[in-house]
Structure 1
Amino acid sequence: MTEDTFPAATVPMRWVGPVKISGNVAEGLIEVPLATYESPLWPSVGRGAKISTLCDRGIVATLLDERMTRSVLLEADDAGTALAAARQLHAELPRLRGIVAECSRFANLIELHHQIVGNLLFLRFEFTTGDASGHNMATLAADALLGYIIDAVPGVRYGSISGNFCTDKKASAVNGILGRGKNVVTEILIPREIVEQRLHTTAHRVAEINVRKNLIGTTLAGGIRSANAHYANMLLGVYLATGQDAANIVEGSQGITHAEDRDGDLYFSCALPNLIVGTVGNGKSLDFVEANLTRLGCRETREPGGNARRLAVITAAAVLCGELSLLAAQTNPGELMRTHLRFERSAEKDGASERAHRNS
């Protein structure tokens, strides 16, 4: 089997929306592709998208920060040697940035953090990586930095190119605290009449279930910097449709939903501090991915990193649409199951009709 004849796993995809987005990166009415086997997700996100078009500013998506990380592990003679090495490296940060610039056109070292356990020194390098999600770029830069450190810093030796202090594709606190990927906050203010007519609930009930389910329930479960209903559903749908590394939904879904009753109007927000997306790199050369990114407007910006930022805020807006719709449904007894059954049966009928048509 050649590289060009690999079998493909087909995942159903639909465009949902448009979603009304404003903020510091993207503006306008934008449709979003969701690739998923969970067919009720399309109408659920679609309901949130429709509500966004009825609100003054729609979903306000604010990109707060962006960085990709790679941690390396060094073995030192002892803890004192490890501390001296860390202090030396922090003092030499301009030199380290120069090393990164020599090995990569797009990576830029912006920060260094360290932890010491016994004689082990963990270094967490943080980079901006342009339009790439930056996994490989960060590893390449970290590899070059590691070579320099071993040669230039006394008393330290190679441990590993990855020390798990990054943290990549694992639930952790460090990513939410220090950042990994794009940090995006989405907000919407929904007038009382729209909450009641379109969501069939009230701002008070949504705010209450958010506290009881997402905050208290997640705390009981031992969630790590995660207080939401189902961010992973929307993230996976967009990730598969746009050629992302789908395993990054592990840290990507660690976000916090916040809701307030403002005199009957509903303020609703989703904070996603670990949104890892890119518009260049592995998976982006596939025809369907190229077509989807083009339709999303993620092939138009010439500003370095601008296309990836646009994809990040669109993804975050889709997350809010689905989160809002689900929480509203869960304020009403039986609504969630009724809608799931209705839409799943509808999707099964559509699939059967399509198969019959192909076989006729």
Structure 2
Amino acid sequence: MTNSTSPQISANPPLFAAVPMQSVGPFKLIGDVVVDDLMVPLATYESPLWPSVARGARVAAHAGGIRVTVVDERMTRSILLQAPHAGLATECVRHIQARHADLQAVVAKSSRFAQLLDTHFQVVGNLIYLRLEFSTGDASGHNMVTHAADQLIPWLLAQYPHLQYVSISANYCTDKKVSAVNGILGRGKYVVCEVTLPRKLCQRFLKTTPEAIVDLHIKKDLLGSIVSGGLRSANAHVANMLLGFYLATGQDAANIVEGSQAINHAEVTPQGDLYFSTTLPNLIVGTVGNGKGLDFVRHNLTQLGCDNPDVAPGVNARRLACIAGATAFCGELSLLAAQTNPGELMAAHIKLERAHHA
């Protein structure tokens, strides 16, 4: 007899939620990824997102393309250990940090792709918050770093018998939560997207001026984020584009929480043109792993050129991160331009959403 209070999962095959999906573009990328005429799939219920991102991609292509740069990449897992007192905790953790080669030897037994890059720690009372940072090839790496940490913990407890296990995750990772540490130390791919738009292109495609966009950026993205108490975030709606991109490419969509901590920067150049950039320090994406075997995901990864079997581990995932960042960049540029013009934003939603339900 089944206990009615026990967790239950249907024995039937899983069903799939249908989310509308369209490809938008074309995108032109330069820098760490070079590609012309790339169409990017976005799965979203917010239909105005498609033409908005496409507008940003179109004007950037006319300006020579979006320069994409991968500044850094790493996936993290923090573990929580306990010592008898803070002095011993500090002594142990400094000794642990000096044994990088020994730690990596243990990590290597868990995966042929996981490489320990660095460690950071915080001691709170007699607690050790140990942040482990890894490279994970083409995987986003959530499970890979957790498995590596699972191998490290018993080794550490054997090496340092005064320590005790508390948790495999200490919230110093930080996974799917808003924090400062990810932006400072890095989690996922750190991507910068930028373009310089000639004034005439701003006026022709975006129906605005460089000065208007910079002014709005200062008053909305920067000051507005300060007023609201935003944490390492100065953007208009990066989460919108990341969610659509993550759903279309088989990513763990909850990662938009830290992924949306993006920072826009805008200025008028001495020539009177617009420099605009979006910096995304926490893009967590992968081209292998759970969710990537679905037919539509494989089709989309192929369309994006992110399933090339002939490249070194990590190349496909870095390319995917660059495209994800560029997609967010285009949505940011287009929305800010729209919001410099009274009524334009709502008019687009009425035309593309409410008209279908009239």
Distance 1:28 1:98 in 2: 42
Distance 1:21 1:347 in 2: 34
Change (3 A) 1:188 1:3: farther
Of 303, 310, 330, 2:312 maps to 303
Q: Is the 8 A contact 2:221 2:236 kept in 1?
A: yes
Deviations 1:117-142 (A, max 9, x none): 00000000000000000000000001
Deviates more, 1:181-190 or 1:101-110: 101-110
Instruction: Provide the residue aligned with 1:321 in structure 2.
Output: 330
Deviates more, 1:272-281 or 1:84-93: 84-93
Instruction: Provide the residue aligned with 2:177 in structure 1.
Output: 170
Instruction: Provide the residue aligned with 1:90 in structure 2.
Output: 97
Of 18, 24, 38, 1:16 maps to 24
The residue type equivalent to 2:93 in the other structure is: A
Structure 2 residue runs without a partner (length 5+):
1-8
Distance 2:29 2:11 in 1: 39
Deviations 1:135-185 (A, max 9, x none): 000000011111111110142110100000000000000000000000000
Q: Is the 8 A contact 1:25 1:63 kept in 2?
A: no
Instruction: Provide the residue aligned with 1:48 in structure 2.
Output: 56
Q: Is the 8 A contact 1:230 1:323 kept in 2?
A: yes
Instruction: Provide the residue aligned with 1:199 in structure 2.
Output: 206
| Secondary structure of the structure 1 residue equivalent to 2:109 | helix
Change (3 A) 1:205 1:30: same
The residue type equivalent to 1:319 in the other structure is: A
The residue type equivalent to 1:50 in the other structure is: R
Matched residues, number: 348
Q: Is the 8 A contact 1:26 1:310 kept in 2?
A: no
Q: CA deviation at 1:225?
A: 0.3
| Secondary structure of the structure 1 residue equivalent to 2:156 | helix
Of 267, 280, 290, 2:275 maps to 267
Instruction: Provide the residue aligned with 1:344 in structure 2.
Output: 353
Deviations 1:284-343 (A, max 9, x none): 001110111011101115211111111000010000110000000001111111111111
Distance 1:29 1:314 in 2: 12
Identity %: 58
Structure 1 residue runs of 4+, over 4 Å off? 1-4, 346-349
Q: Is the 8 A contact 1:169 1:251 kept in 2?
A: yes
Structure 1 residue runs without a partner (length 5+):
350-360
Normalised by the length of structure 1, the TM-score is 0.94
Q: CA deviation at 1:4?
A: 6.9
The answer to whether the aligner puts 1:152 opposite 2:159 as a matched pair is yes
Q: CA deviation at 1:347?
A: 5.2
The residue type equivalent to 1:74 in the other structure is: L
Instruction: Provide the residue aligned with 1:357 in structure 2.
Output: none
Distance 2:202 2:12 in 1: 50
Deviates more, 1:297-306 or 1:117-126: 297-306
Q: How does 1:237-316 map to 2 (within 5 A)?
A: 237-262=244-269, 263-300=271-308, 301-316=310-325
Change (3 A) 1:4 1:289: farther
| Secondary structure of the structure 2 residue equivalent to 1:175 | helix
Q: CA deviation at 1:255?
A: 0.8
Q: CA deviation at 1:115?
A: 0.2
Q: How does 1:107-122 map to 2 (within 5 A)?
A: 107-122=114-129
Q: Is the 8 A contact 1:17 1:50 kept in 2?
A: yes
Normalised by the length of structure 2, the TM-score is 0.95
